[in-house]
Amino acid sequence: MDSKNLRPLTHKEKAVLDFIELFFTENTISPSFIEIKNHFGFASNNSVQRYLKQLQTKGYIFVPKGNQKRAITILHSANTLHQNFVSTTPKPKSFASTGSVHPPKVTEPCSLPLLGKIAAGQPIESLEHNESVDVPFNFVMEPEKSYALKVEGDSMINEGIHSGDVIIVQDTHYAQNGDIVVAVIESEATLKKYYFHNDKNLIELRPSHPTMEPMWHHPSKVNIRGVLKNLIRKY
């Protein structure tokens, strides 16, 4: 939807959108329904769904069907058109306190290298440059340090990552426990949750699937190539 055709926001709709933008700015991912619910003190996720539906209907966000985790896409900032607001509402603390942090601005899509496929299952292939993919600008905090991969397999399905999704990865060789990482083992790449067990001196690459077992490797065998930051799903 063109910004000229955006519909006005109510106080609460703008507050919800402000929070989503602030959360994305600070965490590089969109908030979950539970995080939105807890922030505003809503009684249930139904209230969250109602506000997200209103924001989507008015053209400010896009939420894929099925309510996948962290799948909110910002199409227009809450401050795109000041004249659209019914009235002003206080900005989230980080915006108001410093005056130096602003919501991500929506511009032209960002083009990232698509480095082939990544296995959400057993490792399948090494990473090789193949083509590029256009992604929403606000999906990428550091384009020069980011790339995209297409997911194959469903071992991360409980994290809302499905076969066929395109993931946005920040290039890094370091990870913290709990990060979803791109790991290369003997020239084969896989997407798993990372845990280093100091007592065993082993790295656990853990799937998010009830029927799949973790993979264990000596640190010398695991090459971290990036940390998951976002994903794109096509229907």
User: Rounded distance, CA 39 to CA 43, Å?
Assistant: 11
* Nearest in space to 204 (alpha carbons), one of 186, 219, 220: 219
| Segments in the chain forming alpha helices (H) | 11-27, 33-40, 45-57, 93-98
Q: Across-strand partners of 197? A: 202
Sign of torsion over alpha carbons 199, 200, 202, 203 = negative
Cβ neighbours of 142 (radius 10 Å): 10
Q: Across-strand partners of 213? A: none
Q: 59 is written with which tokens?
A: 């053209």
The answer to whether 14 touches 103, Cβ cutoff 8 Å, is no
Angle ∠(14,167,2) on CA atoms, nearest 5: 40
Q: How many residues does the chain have?
A: 235
Q: 67 is written with which tokens?
A: 């309510």
Catalytically annotated residues: 155, 192
The answer to whether 7 touches 59, Cβ cutoff 8 Å, is yes
The answer to whether 60 touches 14, Cβ cutoff 8 Å, is no
